[in-house]
Amino acid sequence: MRISPPPPYFCLATFALLTSSIILTMHNLSPSPDGKRTKSGVISSLKTPPRAPLTRRSPSPLTRARHAKVPRSRGTVTAAVGGGGGGKCVVGSTVGSGDTVMEWLEANGYEIAGTGRAAGGSGWSSTSKIKTKDGKEFFVKRANQPAELMFRGEALGLRALYDTKTIRVPNVLHYGDNKIGSGSFIIMESLTMGGGYDSYEFGRDMARLHLATPTVKEAAQGSFGFPIDNTIGATSQPNGWMDDWVEFFRIRRIGHQVKLARDSDLSSLWEKVQKKTDNLKTLFQDITVKPSTLHGDLWSGNYGGVDGRAAIFDPAVYYGHHEAEWGMSWCAGFGGRFWEGYRSLIPEDPGFQKRAILYEAYHKLNHYNLFGGGYYSDAYRLLSSLC
């Protein structure tokens, strides 16, 4: 199944709700030295769902900032992107006094060309760029909370993606807590984004990612989950290991989001879906599900071109069914060439179109829990179509 690019007005309306946690700044910079929403699955013949609450949910500034993105501007954009990647990703404080970030860089052989320059910020973090005398540029995020809370999931997720050696992912050097005072930081590669890339090869890169043997032992042995819980946007995403994918997705994904919604009509509908599908098992008949490394939140704000190749960033990584990756396709803008490339390596399995509704429902529920509004109706109709 190919999913058509979303109509521009829908993405723009969605973007208007969101503020950035990826800092995109217009600059005339050279490349880094190191180097798009339709309501698919909504069936018009279904009965109108119960009316969603009229009052839009009001997430905290932290919630809005951590989940939000802004549309990429036209032209060359320098993107300071959180990521994981090459080199040893370590955690811990540094020695000496003063700025912990600068000290760590200098202690690891980097000569700083000047003080860090501001690169913007969000509701939960401030950012800067630091250039070294040999021309390297690093992007630094800082937050008032501990690194365990703010940056560990980001670093480990991008490390998992990078370790597959299949697709361009930003490089994380280090994350840790400030030695003096409170707060934490993460140091990473600064990517210069802009220009085109081959959509067909992007599709093939994503297929290679999904086909790669996971580097985490539990996933390599067939279990689904991730070493730590993380977030999808700012919503908690439990990742405790399970050997059964259907049970994992039923309990830790849809079930979790339905509980967070605290809505009796949604809860009742979810019970009907489980009863109708034998706890989702009928949706997975005649296929074998193996753990794939998933980006987990792949939409148009989380990928872009870097040096002629597509790069992905800002993930919600876990090990799961490769089809679950496409639950955000309604806001990803993947074109025909992308799907041609992907399907050249991973053909479509029987029943995909029905499972695609389930996977989209997860993200629509999450958007309702974050932002309220029309996402309630979307999620309700998607789940209803499974009954």
Beginning with the edge strand found earlier in the chain, give each strand of the sheet holding 117-121 in spatial order.
90-91, 172-177, 184-189, 137-143, 126-131, 117-121
CA 64/CA 323 separation, integer angstroms: 27
Neighbour-count burial of 28, counting CB atoms closer than 10 A to its CB (0-12 exposed, 13-18 middle, 19+ buried)? exposed
**Is residue 297 annotated as a catalytic residue, yes or no?**
yes
CA 147/CA 152 separation, integer angstroms: 6
Catalytic residue among 177, 205, 263, 297: 297
Q: Which two tokens stand for residue 64?
A: 């809005």
Task: Measure Cα distances from 12 to 58, 59, 77, 202, 331 in Å.
Answer: 20, 20, 19, 24, 10
Residues facing residue 78 across a β-bridge: 25, 192
CA 276/CA 299 separation, integer angstroms: 30
In this structure, the number of other CB atoms found within 10 A of the CB of residue 186 comes to 28
State how beta strands 309-312 and 235-237 pair.
unpaired
Write the single-letter amino acid at 71. Answer: P
3-state secondary structure 170-195: CCEEEEEECCCCCCEEEEEECEEECC
Active site residues per annotation? 297
